[in-house]
Amino acid sequence: MVKIEHIGIAVKELAISVPLFEKLLNSPCYKTETVESEKVNTAFFQQGQTKIELLESSTPDGVIARFIEKKGEGIHHIAFDVEDIYAEMERLKNEGFVLLNEKPKDGADNKLVCFLHPKGTNGVLVELCMEKKK
């Protein structure tokens, strides 16, 4: 894994949390994007080499809505940048980690992503992500 690419934070309302994080980080949100397949609206902040990704559910029954219901707002996942997501998925599968998707899928911010089951990672939802080649 190359570095922490971003940290995903579940929030109830982007309209409230975007201005809050702009103040906190003293930098503007540079992108918002809806990921239909995940039922989330996302907002991104750049902090040096790393990003903060705010996640708001786009539907009442989405995964982020259910997460907030159970645990409240807060850190949802940690995403690692990988050079070859296919090789990394294979490696982790062979190490016994449970992948939540068998094939990389489209994520926000022009990425291919794969999630690992938090049961096998001390309760931390881990995302692998790789920049899509143009």
Residues near Zn ion, by CB under 5 A: 8, 53, 79, 127
Taking CB atoms, the residue at the shortest distance from Zn ion is 8
**Minimum distance, C-beta of residue 38 to Zn ion, in the bound complex (Å):** 9
CA distance linking residue 42 with residue 58, whole number of Å: 10
Which of 35/97 has CB closer to Zn ion?
A: 35
Which of 94/115 has CB closer to Zn ion?
A: 115
**Minimum distance, C-beta of residue 130 to Zn ion, in the bound complex (Å):** 12
Evaluate whether 126 touches 117 at the Cβ level (below 8 Å).
no
CB atoms within 10 A of CB 32: 14
Q: Which of 45, 51, 40 is nearest to 18 (CA)?
A: 45
**Minimum distance, C-beta of residue 129 to Zn ion, in the bound complex (Å):** 7
